[in-house]
Amino acid sequence: MTYNKFVCYVLTFEAIVLNAGTGAICLFAPSFFVSQFSMEPMPLLALEFIRWYGVLLWVLAFLVLRILPQNDNRVLAPAVEALLFGDLIHLFAIYIFYQAIPLWSFAFTIMLFCTLALAIIRSIWVYKYHQKTL
């Protein structure tokens, strides 16, 4: 299997399981989503913002699932670069979150691992794409 094909499988998994799945939880059960990270009660307005986060995750899932079937790295490259940029911002947000709530919950650990893994996988793909070695 080529690295390009591997990344397409990873992106598909991310879109369906991580983004659409987490998006559904955020949209339909925001209190449950938050409870995976902290047992502190959340104000109603904050929970509504979590719903909006779920919407954005669905948009990301839709975008990736629309691009992948085209089998065109020229179309995929800007999306992977944008997702990598998002990974880097997400890592910064994880750092800020940990400063506020220094708790290594299962959800926090999984979130950190997935973000790091995706950032590494995407970085390699972007490097290979620009080196024309995919």
Average confidence (pLDDT) over 48-68: 98
**Rounded distance, CA 81 to CA 76, Å?**
9
Looking at residue 114, its pLDDT comes to 98
Residue 13's pLDDT is: 98
Residues 51-60 have a mean pLDDT of 97
How far lies 48's CA from each of 3, 13, 29, 74, 94, in Å?
39, 26, 10, 37, 20
Prediction pTM value: 0.93
Which pLDDT band holds residue 29 (cuts at 50, 70, 90)? very high
Please provide the average confidence, as pLDDT, over all residues in the chain.
Answer: 97
The residues near 64 (Cβ < 8 Å, ≥ 6 apart) are 11, 12, 14, 15, 19, 79, 83
* Radius of gyration in angstroms for the set of CA atoms belonging to the chain, rounded to a whole number: 16
Mean pLDDT of 57-79: 98
Angle at 98 between CA 93 and CA 102, to 5 degrees: 170
Q: What is the pLDDT of residue 79?
A: 98
Quickly tell me which residue has 């909006």 as its tokens.
Answer: 52
* Residues of the chain above pLDDT 90, percent: 96
DSSP string, 4-72: HHHHHHHHHHIIIIIIIIHHHHHHH-HHHHHHTT--S---HHHHHHHHHHHHHHHHHHHHHHHHGGG--
52/1 Cα distance (integer angstroms): 37
Look at residue 71 in the predicted model and tell me its pLDDT: 96
pLDDT of residue 24: 98
CA distance 106 to 22: 15
Q: Would you place residue 131 in the very low, low, confident or very high pLDDT band (cuts 50, 70, 90)?
A: very high
Write down the pLDDT at residue 57: 98
